[in-house]
Amino acid sequence: MTKRAIISGGSIGGLFAAAALMRAGWQVDVFERTDVELAGRGAGIVTHKALIEALQAVGASTEDLGVSVQERVAFDKAGQPVARIDYPQIVTSWDRIHQLLRVLIPDDRHHLGAHVAGYADHGDRVEAVLTDGRRVEADVLIGADGFRSSVRGQMLPDVQPEYSGYVVWRALAHEADLPAEVRDAVFPHFGFYAPTGTQIIGYPIAGPNNDLRPGHRRYNFVWYAPVKAADLADMLTDASGHLHHISIPPPLVRDAVITAVEAQAREMLPGPFVQILAQSERPFFTPIYDHASPVMAQGRVALSGDAACVARPHVGMGVTKAACDALALARHLADGPVEEGLLAYSAERVPASKSAHDRARTLGRFIFDDSVPNPDGRSNPRLDEIMRTTAINVA
């Protein structure tokens, strides 16, 4: 008899889990909370060897995956290079990875407008309770519903995201809109600016519809900026006065918040990055949180990706970690009882996730290292380590 899996969450982690389990012979249903197909998230993703291998393992194409960068370059406040290292790497976008995985999932197994609000594990089966009131039974339930996971909330209610003390601002600028000097000096590289107390990274990614032609690409702007908890509450409040818990949808960020951060950028950042931000689409921010689940499975229920553990974006491992979770799930559920397979999955993936989590926290602490005066990014005592380990799988 074909085994059935329910996956809560239709983002990249959920699609990876679905594709891997389908390759292993499972019948899979994916439930995504949004009522339209996820799209338009152009934010950059750095690839690792493990991610490319995972895409190939689930049958996804890796052709035209992204933009190839050859060099990492750090800049000072004046916009001048202060360090360079050779590190060839492919950088892609959320859109592209999602597109490659989504085509693997049949439309009649991909359900929009409802996700898993809770579940009941009956021992021989698990019953998922959907937000629209339906109850669906399966052999296993996978919570791939992000760091605010409803599945984790029931399984591990004490595991709550903890605010790190800073946020990440993201923006995308079209290559053709940038001044020629920025296109020449900054755009081709994986760029850094690392003074004490803040940090910039940025790199080129494909343009809309995975357009890889020179002149049609975009620059992925990433800025880590400290924000006190009290100020964060104001930033998470929309124009109607509603305070959003944990994070705020990008379209609801108030104009005053955008204006303030643009002024802060003009004061704090090198000229080329100020110009990139000025030419970008509307920027948005995400507060940075930590959480790491001590287990990733109980009974017939498992957690995957950010639902299980969030590693701060410094390591660039969010998508790769979810991909490796998916492959491990399929491998451990290939034979034998579901409960035993999920226990083995948890035993394998908890240490791997914790390693990425801890490394990301370390890189986050480097931003605020004030042991050496470094107001302009020229004297960062850890600059070489930052450049060699940011968005690189060092496991």
Whether the pLDDT of residue 41 is over 70: the answer is: no
Q: Residue 335's pLDDT band (boundaries 50, 70, 90)?
A: confident
Q: Residue 37's pLDDT band (boundaries 50, 70, 90)?
A: confident
Average pLDDT over residues 274-284: 96
In whole angstroms, what is the distance from residue 338 CA to residue 156 CA?
20
Beta strand ranges found along the chain (DSSP E)? 4-8, 27-32, 44-46, 67-75, 81-93, 110-112, 116-121, 126-130, 135-138, 140-143, 162-174, 190-193, 199-205, 218-226, 284-292, 297-298, 301-303, 309-310
What CATH architecture is 67-95+162-289+366-389?
2-Layer Sandwich (3.30)
Q: What is the pLDDT of residue 245?
A: 87
Which residue is it, tokens 């990249």? 12
Per-residue pLDDT tens digits for 157-209: 999 999 999 999 999 999 999 999 999 999 999 999 999 999 999 999 999 98
Angle at 288 between CA 192 and CA 309, to 5 degrees: 110
Fold (topology level) of 4-39+97-160+291-362 = FAD/NAD(P)-binding domain (3.50.50)
Higher pLDDT, 395 or 391: 391
Which residue is it, tokens 């299980």? 308
Residue 239 neighbours by CB under 8 Å, 6+ apart: 252, 254, 255
Segments making up each domain of the chain, as ranges:
4-39+97-160+291-362, 67-95+162-289+366-389
Whether the pLDDT of residue 40 is over 60: the answer is: no
pTM of the model: 0.95
Average pLDDT over residues 12-32: 97
Average pLDDT over residues 37-43: 66
Q: What is the pLDDT of residue 34?
A: 87
Per-residue pLDDT tens digits for 72-106: 999 999 999 999 999 999 999 999 999 999 999 99
Domain 4-39+97-160+291-362 and domain 67-95+162-289+366-389, same fold? Reply is no
In terms of Cβ atoms closer than 10 Å to its own Cβ (0-12, 13-18, 19+), residue 264 is middle
Whether the pLDDT of residue 290 is over 80: the answer is: yes
Whether the pLDDT of residue 39 is over 70: the answer is: no
CB 304 within 8 A of CB 180: no
